Structure formats: C-alpha cells, structure tokens
Amino acid sequence: MSLMTKEQLKQWIKEKNMQSVEDVQSALKELFAETLQEMLEAELETSLGYAKHDTKNKKTTNSRNGYSKKKVRSEYGDVDIQVPRDRAGEFEPTIVKKNQTNVTGIEDQIIAMYAKGVSTRDIQDHLQQLYGIEVSPTLISNVTNKIVPLIKEWQNRPLQAVYAVVFLDAIHFKVKQDGAIVNKAAYMAIGIDLEGHKDVLGIWIGENESAKFWLHVVNELKNRGV
C-alpha cells in the first residue's frame, strides 16, 4: 500500500466519518464494564471469605447464588453488568450499590488504571480512593488481585500492523500523591484502521510530554505489532 498525500488523507477521513467517537466509546465501555464486573466478583469473594471453587477454605454456610442482571448509566453509555448474589442475601455490593443506576464520575479513575506506568501500589491507591475509607485492606487486596491480570493482558495485547491514523487524547483523574490529591493526565493512543474502525491502542501516564516520552510510546506500539 502506498502512502497517502495530505489531501488524500483528508478525503479518506471525510469518507470514513472520522468525526464519530462511537468506536472509542464502545472500546472504553467494554473495558469499564469488564473491570466493574471483576470488582464485584472480588467484593463477593471478600464477603464470603473464600474464592470461587475454593471450597476447602470455605468457613461459612453461605455460598454463591448466581447473578442478577443490571444496567447502569455511565459517560460511555449504558453498561450491562451481572451482580453476583449470595444464598443468604447478606452481600451488599459497594462499587455499584443496590438500587444504584448511575455510575457517572468513576469512569476516568477506572480507565486510568490501564495506563502504562501505573504500579500495583498506584492501583491500590486508585481503588482506595474509589471505595473510600470504609472498606477493608482485604477488599482492596482482593480487588487488586482480580484486576491486575486483566490490566496486564489488555496492555500487552497484539495490535494490527497498519493503522491509517493514530491520534492522542487525554483523560484526567485524581490521585493521592505525597498526602495530597492531585490531578494527573493519562494519554490515550487511538488508532483508526483501514476500514475506518477506531480502537484504543494504549494508555500512558506522562509526567511531561517530552520527546523521550513519545519515543517510548511509539516504540511500545511498534513492539506490539504496529
């Protein structure tokens, strides 16, 4: 495939309707929903005191009892989740409470955990901030253990060899640093493939947008197949 001129690229973007952000919203919504789901699973695991299928460590007469479907509103649109239930009816979900139908406001905090440069300790700090001081260290630990593999898998997934356009966007989130709450930016690389579909290729935390930082981003995309 030959390279397009600037005018050809402009025409291609116009034809593919690149003003639409539906694909990006859809990708972020899927990521957000999957993370919420794992957080709810970890909450029930903490409440029961044992992991799924780990019956040898079960020290309660209570047990899992399937799921109930729930739709919640987010900045990315309506999100469908499966809320786990316990047989005794004692489980009270925290990240999405009973009767809660709107989770707007936590999206950027959750998506920011998928950024390269965020350590496991940073993820724990994010979760502590999301949940507040009322939750136990065990819950934070269990949720971290659930979502870190999810994050690593997403960060390292292979990408397509060719994208017609790659552009950057930023999300802003709050994080605790040196005892104070500060605003930070996470940069998203969004790729548009030859069919006009958009996808979030990766997210990175940048203390400053130096040439070294952008070179690191480009090299990482290259190492993943671009």
Residue 127, pLDDT > 80, answer yes
Tell which of 155, 176, 193 closes a domain.
Answer: 155
133 and 200 housed in the same domain: no
Greater confidence (211 vs 32) lies with: 32
Structure confidence at residue 1 as a pLDDT band (50, 70, 90): very low
Of 126-130, 176-180, 201-205, the range with the highest mean pLDDT is 201-205
Give residue 135's pLDDT.
Answer: 84
Write out the residue range of the structural domain in which residue 29 sits.
24-155
Q: Is residue 11 part of a domain?
A: no
Give residue 16's pLDDT.
Answer: 56
Residue 8, pLDDT > 70, answer no
Tell which of 128, 155, 182 closes a domain.
Answer: 155
Residue 221, pLDDT > 90, answer yes
Tell which of 127, 155, 183 closes a domain.
Answer: 155
Interval 29-49 mean pLDDT = 94
76 and 127 housed in the same domain: yes
Q: Is residue 183 part of a domain?
A: yes
106 and 209 housed in the same domain: no
132 and 182 housed in the same domain: no
Structure confidence at residue 9 as a pLDDT band (50, 70, 90): low
Give residue 63's pLDDT.
Answer: 92
Q: Is residue 3 part of a domain?
A: no
Structure confidence at residue 10 as a pLDDT band (50, 70, 90): low
The structural domain count of the chain equals 2
37 and 58 housed in the same domain: yes
174 and 102 housed in the same domain: no
Residue 5, pLDDT > 70, answer no
Q: Is residue 15 part of a domain?
A: no
191 and 142 housed in the same domain: no
**HEC sequence for the chain:** CCCCCHHHHHHHHHHCCCCCCHHHHHHHHHHHHHHHHHHHHHHHHHHHCCCCCCHHHCCCCCCEEEEEEEEEEECCEEEEEEEEEECCCCCCCCCCCCCCCECCCCHHHHHHHHCECCCHHHHHHHHHHHHCCCCCHHHHHHHHHHHHHHHHHHHCCCCCCCCCEEEEEEEEEEEEECCEEEEEEEEEEEEECCCCCEEEEEEEECCCCCHHHHHHHHHHHHHCCC
104 and 187 housed in the same domain: no
80 and 164 housed in the same domain: no
Q: What is the pLDDT of residues 147-186, one digit of tens each?
A: 999 999 999 999 999 998 888 888 877 766 667 777 888 8
Q: What is the pLDDT of residues 64-117, one digit of tens each?
A: 999 999 999 999 999 999 999 999 999 999 999 999 999 998 988 899 899 988
114 and 164 housed in the same domain: no
144 and 166 housed in the same domain: no
112 and 28 housed in the same domain: yes
Interval 38-51 mean pLDDT = 94
